[in-house]
Every structure is written in C-alpha cells, then in structure tokens.
Amino acid sequence: MSHNTFGHLFRVTTFGESHGPAIGCVVDGCPPLIAIEASEIQRELDRRKPGQSRFTTQRREADEVRILSGVFVDEASGQQITTGTPIGLLIENTDQRSKDYGDIKDKYRPGHADFTYDVKYGVRDYRGGGRASARETAMRVAAGAIARKVVPGLLVRGAVVQIGPHAVDRDRWDWDEVGRNPLFCPDAAMVPMLEDYLDGIRKDGSSVGAVVEVVAEGVPPGLGAPIYGKLDADIAAALMSINAVKGVEIGDGFAAATLRGEANADEIRRGNDGQALFLSNHAGGILGGLSTGQAIVARFAVKPTSSILTPRLTVDRQGHETDILTKGRHDPCVGLRAVPVGEAMVACVLADHYLRHRGQIGAVRAWP
Amino acid sequence: MSHNTFGHLFRVTTFGESHGPAIGCVVDGCPPLIAIEASEIQRELDRRKPGQSRFTTQRREADEVRILSGVFVDEASGQQITTGTPIGLLIENTDQRSKDYGDIKDKYRPGHADFTYDVKYGVRDYRGGGRASARETAMRVAAGAIARKVVPGLLVRGAVVQIGPHAVDRDRWDWDEVGRNPLFCPDAAMVPMLEDYLDGIRKDGSSVGAVVEVVAEGVPPGLGAPIYGKLDADIAAALMSINAVKGVEIGDGFAAATLRGEANADEIRRGNDGQALFLSNHAGGILGGLSTGQAIVARFAVKPTSSILTPRLTVDRQGHETDILTKGRHDPCVGLRAVPVGEAMVACVLADHYLRHRGQIGAVRAWP
Amino acid sequence: MSHNTFGHLFRVTTFGESHGPAIGCVVDGCPPLIAIEASEIQRELDRRKPGQSRFTTQRREADEVRILSGVFVDEASGQQITTGTPIGLLIENTDQRSKDYGDIKDKYRPGHADFTYDVKYGVRDYRGGGRASARETAMRVAAGAIARKVVPGLLVRGAVVQIGPHAVDRDRWDWDEVGRNPLFCPDAAMVPMLEDYLDGIRKDGSSVGAVVEVVAEGVPPGLGAPIYGKLDADIAAALMSINAVKGVEIGDGFAAATLRGEANADEIRRGNDGQALFLSNHAGGILGGLSTGQAIVARFAVKPTSSILTPRLTVDRQGHETDILTKGRHDPCVGLRAVPVGEAMVACVLADHYLRHRGQIGAVRAWP
Amino acid sequence: MSHNTFGHLFRVTTFGESHGPAIGCVVDGCPPLIAIEASEIQRELDRRKPGQSRFTTQRREADEVRILSGVFVDEASGQQITTGTPIGLLIENTDQRSKDYGDIKDKYRPGHADFTYDVKYGVRDYRGGGRASARETAMRVAAGAIARKVVPGLLVRGAVVQIGPHAVDRDRWDWDEVGRNPLFCPDAAMVPMLEDYLDGIRKDGSSVGAVVEVVAEGVPPGLGAPIYGKLDADIAAALMSINAVKGVEIGDGFAAATLRGEANADEIRRGNDGQALFLSNHAGGILGGLSTGQAIVARFAVKPTSSILTPRLTVDRQGHETDILTKGRHDPCVGLRAVPVGEAMVACVLADHYLRHRGQIGAVRAWP
C-alpha cells in the first residue's frame, strides 16, 4: 500500500474529491475471463449510498458507476468479461454547484483532516472534506465488487456489532437480518432499541462511534505472505485506512490479551472431509500470517464524526483562535455505512493474496 | 510491505530461521551521513534478548550483530557514518547443534504457524519455529535502531500496559520505571503483583497475553500518505506483523466507538510557540492518516503463546489425530519482549514516512 | 514499474482501450502547489495527435483531456494548482461506433500483440488493438506534461534522428526546427528528402522504422537510486515500454562498445560557476546510475509497424493457417509520433527520481 | 526495481561494498520445494570470477558463497530444498586489509561513479569503487542460479558477440565453444584474433568495450505484464543496471529502425506440435511486452572501463583541477565477465514474470 494505490497483484488506485468533477478508480491485475456487469458493482454501491434511512446523511448521490475499460463482451455467451487489462471505473459527481462552504473553508474542524492536510500540503480542497471525505470509499466498494469474484467460493459479509456502548448479542446473530434493517445489525431484537438510541443522537446534533465485524468464508488455507505481507497485517492496514477507523482486531483481538495459552489455542481434529477441523477460532482464521481455511474474522472501531452541532474550540488558517460547529446533514453514526466498505477492503486483500499465493505456489494445494 | 520487506523509501528486508546458520537484514534507503555504531544497535538488541529474567525464555542467544556494509569511517571525525548504500546486518546463530526436535517435527502445535506453513509451502523448517519464530524480530529491533536516527528529534518508547486481565494505572505512569523492572511496566506500584502473577503462570507451565503501548514523540506534523499509505494504516500493519499480535489501536482505539462526537474531538488552541496546540489526544496523534505533531500513541494486543505444558488436541503431518504439549523453556508472557519490537516497528514506519514526506513536500513545513 | 503503473513517488497509472469508452490515467504523488492548467496538458497531447500531416494516421481523435481531481483554484491568485492528491485525467473516446473489424478479429497480425494477448489472457479486445494500441501513449504524454513541472528548471526535448536508413546530420541540429516540420526532424536540410522517402513508403502501403533522441537539460546531479533503480535503468524501461521500441541507448550507447577507455572517459574541469565541468558527454549524463548534471541523452529505436498492405502469413484464433493484410489508414512511420511520448517518459522518470532523491537526501546538494 | 531490490514476486536485494566485510543478497519469493545446493550457485559464481585468464583482472577473490536461510534438507530424499522463505546468501570479502588507496581517495576517476556518489551522498566508500564496484554483480549471478530453477525447462545462455570493433560471425555460432575460450566467444575461428587484439589493449594499459548477447529458450508464451511491466522493459532495466552498460536491444534492436514493415513482421504458421510456429524472430521473442514462446534475444553494450594507464583530466573532492591514471590490475575488457551477469539478470526477470503470470492467470495456458 502506498499513496492512493493498494494491493500488489490485485491493485486498486483511487482518485477524486468529494465535490470535484468525479471520483474514480483503476483496478489493475484482475484476472481475465471473469464475468462482471456494471449492475453488480452498482448493487454494492447502493448498499453504502447515503440517504437510505434517517440514520445516514441525507445528501443525495446518484453514484452511478461506469466501467470505462478492461471488459469485453464475449460473443459466444453475450457475457461481459474481464480481459486482464486495467478496469477503469468512474462516478461523476452530480451535485457540484458552487456554494458557500462557510466556516470549513478557513477553520479547522477538530477531529477532521483539515489541519493535517493543510500543514502537509499547504493547500486543501475544503469542499465537503475534499480527498479526505468518506465519499472516496465508494470506489473501494466498487473495487471490492470485482475482488469478490476473483477468489472462487469467497463470501465476505459484514455487520455492525456495537453502536456506542451497545453491543449486539452474538447468540442472536442472523446474517439475513443484516440486510433487513438500516443499521446493518445482525441482532433483530436489538434493532428497535438501537434505532431509538440513534434517533436521540441525531436529534442532539451529535454522533457516536461503532464497531463493525467482517467475516470472510471460503478462504483457501495458506493465503498470506510472511513476514511483512501477513494476511492479518494487510487486513489491518486495509481496515485502518478507512475513514475514522481507530482500531482493528483479528479473531479474539484485544480479548486474547486476557487469555491463558490453554484457552487461546485452537485445537485441531481431522474433519469428515479429511481436512483439518479446528475446534474453535480464537485466531480469527489466521496463524503466522497465513489463512487456516477457517472463517477470517476481523473487527474495526469507528470513531464518532466530529461534524456535530455543539461548538468546538479550534483555530483558523491564519492561526487565530475561534470555534466551529458543523451545520448540514451528517451521519449520526458513520460506522453504519462502513460495513460495505470494510467488506470491500477485506475482499480486495483476499483477492490480492489469492493471486500472490497462486504465483508463488502454482495452485492452492490441498492438505496432504 | 510485501513478503519479507517493509517500507518504501526506508526499506527493511529480513531473512533467517530460528535454528539456521544466521539471521540478517538489509536496511535500504537510509540517508547518508548519519553516525551509527554497532554498539548502538546492540544496545537495542540487548533489550529484547531472552534470558534476562525469569519471565522470559531461558534460551541463550548471544545476538551479536555485525554491520557488513553501508557505513564508512569518516576520516575527519573518526565517526562511522552511513553512506546511503544498503546496510547489511548479520547475527550468526551460535547454537544450532543438531538435536531431537521431538514432537514438533511431525505434529502441528495449535496456535502456532506449523499447520499453515506446511499447507502453504509443503515443507517447513520446524526447528524452533523456523521462519515463524520470534527470533526474526531481533532484526526488526536492529533496523529500528537505525530508523530512530533518521527522524531528527524522534523519541519512541514502549511499555507493557496490561498483562492478562491486569491493566496498569495510567496515573502512575513513569517512563523511567519501564527500564527498571523486567516487565517493561511503567507503573512501579504494580510490579510486585504482576511478578507474582507471572510466577504463577510460569509454574503452571502456562502463558498469558499482554497489551503493549508505544508512544512516539517529536514526530513532525504532516507525515503520512493518504489514502492507502496512511500513517495509522502503516503502523497497524507494522504492529500486526509482529508474532502473536491480534489487535492494534491508535489513540482511544476501540474505546472511541463508545464516545460521542463532542467527547472525541480534540480541540485546538494556539500554543505559545505559535503552533497548533491540541487540548487532548483521543486521535493518538493522527488525523486523516497524517500526523498532527502530537505524540503518536499505538497499542497492540499479544496473545498468549500456545507453547504450554498442558496437552492440546491436534493432528500430525499425516493427518492422524493426536495431542501435543510443548516442553522446554518458553516465555510465560511473550508480550514483554514485544516492547522493543513494537518500538522498532513504529520507528521504521516513521523513518519511511519522513523520507516519503520530504520527497513529496521538499521540507517539513512549519505551520503558517 | 508493474502492470499499468510506473514510478515510485511520482506514480502514473493508465487504463483504457483504443475503442473503449475512454482512456485515462491517475498521476499520484505529484507535489502540491504546482500551477497546472488543462490547456498545458492539451498542448502536449496535440503534439502527438494523429492526423496532423500526411505522415501520420488519418484517424481523427479529439483527445480532449479533462482534469477530474487533484487540483484546486487558489483564491488569492486565481491559478489552478495541484493539491498533492491524485490527479485523475480522462479522454473520452469519441468514435466508438460499432463496426466491422474484419480480419483482425480472428487473425493474428504478425508483429502485433494479437497473438500474445490471446495466449496470455484467453481473450482480447481486438478493436483497434485494444489495450496494446499506441492510443494508450496519449495518457503518458498527459502525465508527462505534469512531470515536466515537478523538477524546477527541467527542459526535456526530443527529435527524430533517423528514419529507415537515413540519419540526420548532427552538425545541422536545430531544436527550433523540430517544431517546424511534421517529421520532428532537427535537420532542416534533410526534411525534403525524408518527406519524399516517407511519401514513397506511404504509397507502397508500407512502413519504416526510426530512431528518436530525447535530451533532458537542467537535471540536478545525483538523481538516481543505485543499484536497481539506476536512472539509466529506469529510463531504459520507460522507453522500452513504448509501443514498437526495440532498443534503448544512453549517451554513446552501442558505439561505446567500439571505443577505448581513453576516448570514452569524460574528462572533468572546474567551470566558471565553481561546479564540475565535463569536457565531453559520452556517458549521456549518467555515471554509476546517477545523473552528473550534464544533459541526459537517450535514444530509442522504433520498429516499423506491421500494419501494411502486403499480405503476411499468419494463423487465426482456431489455429488455421491463413494470411492477412491490414487495410485502413496507418502511420507509415510510427516513430514520428513517438517523440512526445519519449519526452514524456523521460520527464516522468526524472520527476520520480527527483522526489526520491529529495526524500533520501533532503535537498539537492550543491557540489562542495 | 527500486534502490537495491529488483523483482516483484521473485525479489532480489543485494548489499555490500567491494572492500567491506562481505557482500550478500536476499532472494525473496522463491517458490518452495526446489532442490538447490550451494555448489550449483558456486558453479555460476566461478564463471564470473576474476583471475581466470590474462584477459580479466588478476585480483583474487575466493567468492565462496554460503546459504544462510530459506533451505531445508528433506529427510526423505536427503536433498536440500527451498522452503518458500527468504534465501540469504553471503560471500565474505577475504582481502580487506587496510592499504593505501592512493589517488582514488580524493580524485574523481572520469567515467566512474566517484563524482556522482560524492555529489549525491556527500560521502563514498572509495575502496575499490565501494558499492559501485562490479563486485556487486557476484550476488546477481548467485541469485540468477536460483532463478534458473524457478521456470521449468528454462535455458539462459550468453556470449560475447563484439569486442571493440570486431563482431563475431553469426554463421559460425557454437554455444559449446563459449565455455571453451576465456572470451565467452561463440565463434571459435575468431578467438585467436580477439586474443591478440586484447593482448594489445592490455599491454597498452588500455581498455575496450564489448557487446554481449543473452538468449533464453524454453520461455512459456504470455509472460510479461503490459503496459509498464512489459517483459522487454524489465529486461532492459535489468541489463542497463549492470555496471558500464550503455545500450540494450531486443531482437533486431536498432537494426529494426532501418527495416520496412514487410521485412520486420515475423510470419506465423502452425507447427507440427499444433502450436504457433514463427518463421523468423526479428522481435526477439517478445510482442506487446509479452513472450511469444520463441527464444528471447537481448543484447547489451558495455563501455570500456576508464581504469587505464593514460592520465585523464579530472578534479579532486576539493574542486582542484588535476589528473589521474589508474594503476593496478584491471580488466582490459569488462564486457567479458558481464556474460554470466547478463544471463543472471535475464533469468531473474523471467522467474519474476513466471510467478506474476501464474498468479494472474493461474497456470500457463496452452495455445488453443
């Protein structure tokens, strides 16, 4: 990962600012002969689109993606397939009328990247957060829609497991429920309470953090590239690169620090299929930086946005002390829309490692 | 990060297995004209060396580092300085006599990388964990000793902040205390209790996890490379790449998920030096992937080693079900020796970003 | 360089097929605060645009470039400046109507990439050569227009020095002449003869090769990254990556093989400015992979296109033997339009190394 | 390629100065289960070792290579095989006694990297050329010995095809002859004349350039990564990175510039094996940056060393004008010993692309 590109063999490069003419990305290294339609990418984009419920920002973004390159319609099947050349994706920003950006033009919003971009670059596109806006994550979701198809049999799903202090009950986990409520919550019983809680946050003009869990199933064993391209290290970087994320865990994560070795070891038996069968998954599907073949489990913590109605102390570009409050419609819990983003990042990392593994090893080998 | 190299402009490549002839690394991209003596590297190595107390493995490793290239004695000053060419470092493994490796040759230790290396590569050097051994981290510490000198004024320190369920009292934090006890603990009052606790773990032939905190001071503002080379993303990958690490946090980390936006925003004033003065550091010194100029605060969770005296269920290379217990002297808490390793990784990431920033920006600019 | 990205700190990623919806690129790592207008990029694009004379293909391409991101209008000056974020550039392909692609759909044109793309990917976009079309080089020229502004004082110019067997007379070299004739020829006296020669080639439905020379002046000494990021090695890769290029030389190039050491050594004096003054430039401005501060001189050989009216033996996708001739309007000498492309590649490599050097060294140092 | 590492999946990192304690390299990404003995690496090293004839420098270098990591003795077969972890290789410099380095300590040798290293880094290890010494190429040859085994069926051979103005007669080409004379010359009839010619050069204390050709057979079709990781671009960079190389050609190279399209097109038939059969190889086995399956043919020009007995004008580190002549025993034609180095570089590039191709494509596919 470097600058605005991530991945080694499956490489994603994004560009674009929140209120510029367009955002886009280039997916390079995707294998050929994979069927892909714009509608499949669009479907994932729609999952993170704002304005879908009262719990996300009311901004309207059409977010219609165009595939500009890297695909070709196979005449025999009529299917659109990848060609192995770079796939260019573009979303025009439909609403970029000039307007008054008010305070954010000159004042640094606490908890945002305003100050750091300015101190680094000496200039920043302040409109809607510019490059630092979460709008950039739309392109990650688009790239992830392609990545999901690179690893055969891969299933990557995510859910919100905590909003503010309220954690879901894992015994009531239902993946189907995640798509049925606007909170990406796997615990149906908890949704009404969480909705009430978020309504309160929203009415206060406040915001709150969340924890998101991503689970990847169908991951072949052996993916990863020790020592510095470990699968968990790459997932950690990928998730930490999402806006507002402050922590990443694999498997038991920080809870592992409290365990003894006896409890933490995932014991192994031989399954009916003749393959290794782990009796537990404290490790989150990764040992020594390599996938075990179990589900990969990653969680990340999303801080509350600082775009709130309560004034906060700050300084302006000229160094004068002042304060700022952020008007306009914002997400009371940005963690919600991070679910498809987190899924996409994990899918991209897995696609990359799948290709790297296949390069070094030749074929994903079965356990002896 | 990729394979066995990490960093872009300040690049570290390591090699070597636990019981092979030697371990080594190449530090590439280090600027010229930096004074460095082997003794300075050795001093850091000695901090992570095993056998220093009853709380670390009793293995003896001389760990004497040789500088093989990339330095030259300046005739004027008599000082050894870097030349800008790659710095080769080598530690011969002194104790590699052939011996009986017993169960670990054929059986997969749960919680270790035995199974995954074998399934990936079809072969593994099982002696002492081979490449997956924590012995590799000695070379990270060596590279980190050089990295510390690349960023002028940089101070990177680490401490153990939790052992098993026992967290230190941050109000009693004393950096000087960290070097005075074998637990890298900043809370003197807590040391006796923790020693007793670890003695119990050790006598049980068990192990326990820990949480380590690394704090970097003197970091210029603006370091980082959004969007996919964010400073926090690179630190997350670097720390997650350390053996047994299962979670990484920046600033408030997972606790940020429970906060409201009002509490989480780090308000800004103008300090006496005319620079930005933050009134708090929930962000851990990083906003939008760029350093703010505050202290960078990162924590990571280390799982307990599975090398314990209690038998655990497993299978062997032939797929037969069996069990295994790990004899020999092992660390009751591998998190302790992870402190200098964590420091080294953060120092390397900062050196890399310092050079990248200087390349793109020309010079670290002062805030207007 | 890897896949569709080149450069390390100044990174260019291109995408797009000849007859797809659009071609584009992302320029990542460009420093902030550089003034750049779309018209400056357009001016360079117009230099390589086809249809400008009877010696280039008569295809019409509007090639209107849009800047999609990475720039911002500075309010104080009204100037558009770079912001340090990735610069997205896009050219819509205006003429992509469905049509009969005839033979090239099924038959492999000798000397083209048809066979190799098919054997590698199992699919190819045959329309106009798809990704292998020289149309991709438009984006290199666009990126090069930005690169030229990264290195202060840099001047990169190119010229055709040989067409078929006819080499220019270097004693009559006139840079101003290059822009005045359609052959990019620096030797005015030779232009009429070369035009006659190319008219003959064109009327025969044939094609011919050429040699292009690129000269970069104003290059600070010390750019380059030995051992494997040598300036000449990166220039060689950059030029060899241009369509139809089969050879690259630095300075005396292959002629150096015939020289003795006495003749080849560029002797050094001290110039009036107190800096090193070289008495000759056999080395082409590069020693040990590092720039000397002299002009950098690189040449590359461009093969004749195989798109000719004389039938050539080949096979089709089904493996049947057949023959093919390429109708339609093609370049009699593709080397002509390679001049701005070669300049752009050299400019990009220099921008990249300028940033890398500045990162490692801090500032381009004056000679003691 | 970057700094001191080349390759993406098959990555080679070298370190070490001519007169430092040791030189070494790390070969990372080599697939597991490849049989390799130190003696196989040593055999290649011995081919480039100096002091083998009166036509190479009389310096004595034992050049005994040790494998420090990345291999394991398979118990079943007793064979030493790669494990997939990084392979560390080391050659101790046996003769590093302190001595008088005379003029080269303070004076810049024209045609050498003395000036450029000093101006870049502000310091240089002048002993024997330090990092810029051709001694570094020993590690390339060592890495190449491993690379040769990565691509099944690969055969990479090189020969000197021109010394000074004297080119070999390609009709008398005999690969077996190359190993029988000290000039790596494939034309037995020409050897006596060339030996006389070089004796004259040597007695004059002079030096002369050469051209080396490398031919790789058994290369699967489809290797390469367009657009910027083209096989020929990577080969060009790899060869240009060798000390003293000033030009690189693929196939017909610069001669292609003089050809017409009819002559240059390599026509295709269907061979008896059902695969594509090319009737000529002007392209040197690469079209569109991808291998065709034919032999890959690359040539590179090596300049004469400037280490000669005739004084040349120069300046010293203090900027004073002076002159210098280089005593001591040097190669009259450094191009000779570049043959195994060129072979090694091509082998490394092919190994890298083989793994990259296999990653993206899954398996090298047969032509339909």
Show which subunits contact C, needing at least 3 CB pairs below 8 angstroms. Answer: A, B, D
C226 contacts in chain B (CB < 8 Å): 85
**CA Rg value for chain B:** 21
Mean pLDDT (whole number) for C150-175: 97
For A71-94, the pLDDT digits (tens) are 999 888 899 999 999 999 999 998
Edge-to-edge strands of the sheet including D87-92? D5-6, D11-15, D22-28, D87-92, D65-67
Query: Which of B287, B323, B357 to mutate: most A Cβ within 10 Å?
Result: B287
Q: What is the pLDDT of residue B306?
A: 84
D343, D218 Cβ separation under 8 angstroms: no
Q: What is the pLDDT of residue D368?
A: 46
For C83-138, the pLDDT digits (tens) are 999 999 999 998 655 566 778 889 999 999 999 999 999 999 999 899 999 999 99
**Greatest pairwise CA separation for chain D in angstroms:** 70
Show which subunits contact A, needing at least 3 CB pairs below 8 angstroms. Answer: B, C, D
Mean pLDDT (whole number) for A144-148: 98
- Closest C-alpha among B209, B150, B192 to residue B346: B150
Q: Quote the CA–CA distance of C293 and C297 in Å, as a whole number.
A: 12
For residue C142, say whether it is annotated as part of any ligand binding site: no
Closest Cβ–Cβ partner in D66, D68, D84 for B15 = D68
B334 to chain A, closest Cα gap in Å? 11
D78 contacts in chain B (CB < 8 Å): none
For residue C133, say whether it is annotated as part of any ligand binding site: yes
Q: What is the pLDDT of residue A164?
A: 97
The yes-or-no verdict on residue A363 having pLDDT over 60 is yes
Closest chain C residue to B357, measured at CA: C359
D358 to chain A, closest Cα gap in Å? 5
Q: What is the pLDDT of residue A364?
A: 61
B290 contacts in chain C (CB < 8 Å): none
Closest Cβ–Cβ partner in D16, D28, D122 for B69 = D16
Element (H, E) at D340: helix D338-361
Name the stretches of chain D with pLDDT < 50. Answer: 368
For B21-65, the pLDDT digits (tens) are 999 999 999 999 999 999 999 999 999 887 777 777 656 667 899
Q: What is the pLDDT of residue B56?
A: 72
For B324-359, the pLDDT digits (tens) are 988 766 789 999 999 999 999 999 999 999 999 999
Within 8 A by CB and 6+ apart from C341, the residues are C48, C137, C140, C141, C242
A24 contacts in chain C (CB < 8 Å): 24, 26, 68-69, 88, 90
Contact D119 C221 (CB under 8 A): yes
The yes-or-no verdict on residue A223 having pLDDT over 90 is yes
C118 to chain A, closest Cα gap in Å? 10
| Lowest mean per-residue pLDDT among A318-327, C203-212, C217-226 | A318-327
The yes-or-no verdict on residue C139 having pLDDT over 50 is yes
Query: Which of B8, B124, B260, B349 to mutate: most A Cβ within 10 Å?
Result: B260
Residues of C with CB under 8 A from a CB of A: 2-5, 11, 13-17, 20-24, 26, 28-29, 32-33, 66-70, 72, 74, 81, 83-88, 90, 120-125, 130-131
Q: Quote the CA–CA distance of D297 and D285 in Å, as a whole number.
A: 7
Q: What is the pLDDT of residue D61?
A: 64
Contact A116 B290 (CB under 8 A): yes
The CA distances from residue C93 to A44, A72, A76, A175, D248, in Å, are 27, 16, 26, 44, 35
Between residues C307 and C314, the one the model is more confident about: C314
Q: What is the pLDDT of residue A368?
A: 46
pTM over 0.80: yes
Show which subunits contact D, needing at least 3 CB pairs below 8 angstroms. Answer: A, B, C
For C275-286, the pLDDT digits (tens) are 899 999 999 999
The annotation places the binding site of A for NADP(+) at: 48, 54
Mean pLDDT (whole number) for A111-137: 93
Amino acid at D74: D
How many residues belong to chain B?
368
Question: Any idea which residue has 């015994």 for tokens?
Answer: A171
Q: What is the pLDDT of residue C111?
A: 94
Mean pLDDT (whole number) for A333-362: 96
pLDDT band with cut points at 50, 70 and 90 for residue A98: low
Mean pLDDT (whole number) for B104-133: 93
Mean pLDDT (whole number) for A260-270: 95
For residue D54, say whether it is annotated as part of any ligand binding site: yes
Q: What is the pLDDT of residue B49?
A: 82
Closest Cβ–Cβ partner in C28, C68, C124 for A21 = C68
Mean pLDDT (whole number) for C147-158: 97
D9 contacts in chain A (CB < 8 Å): 9, 356, 359-360
Q: What is the 3-state secondary structure (H, E, C) of chain B?
A: CECCEECCCCEEEEECCCCCCEEEEEEECCCCCCECCHHHHHHHHHHHCCCCCCCCCCCCCCCCEEECCCEEECCCCCCEEECCCCEEEEEECCCCCCCCCHHHHCECCCCCCHHHHHHHHCCCCCHHHHHHCHHHHHHHHHHHHHHCCCCCCCEEEEEEEEECCEECCHHHCCHHHHCCCCCCCCCHHHHHHHHHHHHHHHHCCCCECEEEEEEEECCCCCCCECCCECHHHHHHHHHHCCCCEEEEEECCHHHHHHCEHHHHCCCEEECCCCCEEECCCCCCCEECCEECCCCEEEEEEECCCCCCCCCEEEEECCCCEEEECCCCCCCCCCCCCHHHHHHHHHHHHHHHHHHHHHHHHCCCCCCC
DSSP secondary structure letters along D44-82: HHHHH-TTSSTTS--------EEE-SSEEE-TTT--EEE
Query: Which of B2, B36, B68 to mutate: most D Cβ within 10 Å?
Result: B68
Query: Which of B350, B355, B365 to mutate: most C Cβ within 10 Å?
Result: B355
Q: What is the pLDDT of residue D58?
A: 59
CA angle at B118 for the pair B116 and B120, rounded to the nearest 5°: 65
Contact B237 A236 (CB under 8 A): yes
Q: Quote the CA–CA distance of D112 and D118 in Å, as a whole number.
A: 11
C94 contacts in chain A (CB < 8 Å): none
- Closest C-alpha among D162, D193, D180 to residue D336: D162
Q: Quote the CA–CA distance of D246 and B305 in Å, as a whole number.
A: 55
Closest chain C residue to B85, measured at CA: C226
Q: What are phi and psi of B106, to 5 degrees?
A: -110, -25
The yes-or-no verdict on residue A327 having pLDDT over 90 is no
Q: What is the dihedral of CA D347, D353, D358, D360, to 10 degrees?
A: 180
